Amino acid sequence: MIFQDYKLLQDRTVFDNVALPLVIAGYGHHEIARRVRASLDKVGLLGKERKYPMTLSGGEQQRVGIARAVVNKPPMILADEPTGNLDPELSAEIMKLFEQFQQVGVTILIASHDISLITQMNRRVLKLDHGQLIAS
């Protein structure tokens, strides 16, 4: 799950935020550390694991959110307006990141209002109107 407002714990470090799903799932220390680093590396934030979310930019915070979403290797990621609070450049970056995950076999479902951004992606698009599927 990825959220429009990131939903990060502001009083925890980036590392702790990303580690949360693994802690919940009951993984050991070393395993957590390894996976969190791998995950942060994928989103390009490896050097910032000790920072607090408040000190990061919006795009970086969203990437922390993405790292958290992929850290326990879900087969599917739901992203609720992941770029809603980001400028077009950052949005494109985030989308590229999603594309990378898609290429290693993760299904990604993105809800978005940003039609131009979505069409650029050149992927399957489902259009909803009041909960009804109107185009696919």
What residues line the site for other proteins (CB under 8 A)? 1, 3, 7-11, 20-21, 23-31, 34-35, 37-38, 41-42, 68, 72-75, 100, 103-106
Local structure of residue 2 (DSSP, 8 states): B
**Alpha helices, DSSP H only, in the chain?**
14-25, 29-42, 58-70, 88-103, 115-121
Q: Which of 52, 25, 20 is nearest to 39 (CA)?
A: 20
Residue 28 or residue 131: which is nearer to other proteins going by CB? Answer: 28
- Output the smallest distance, CB 131 to other proteins, in A: 18
Task: Residue 41: count other Cβ atoms within 10 Å of its Cβ.
Answer: 13
Residue 87 or residue 99: which is nearer to other proteins going by CB? Answer: 99
- Output the smallest distance, CB 37 to other proteins, in A: 8
- Output the smallest distance, CB 102 to other proteins, in A: 11
- Output the smallest distance, CB 22 to other proteins, in A: 8
Rounded to an integer, what distance in angstroms lies between the CA atom of residue 86 and that of residue 4? 9
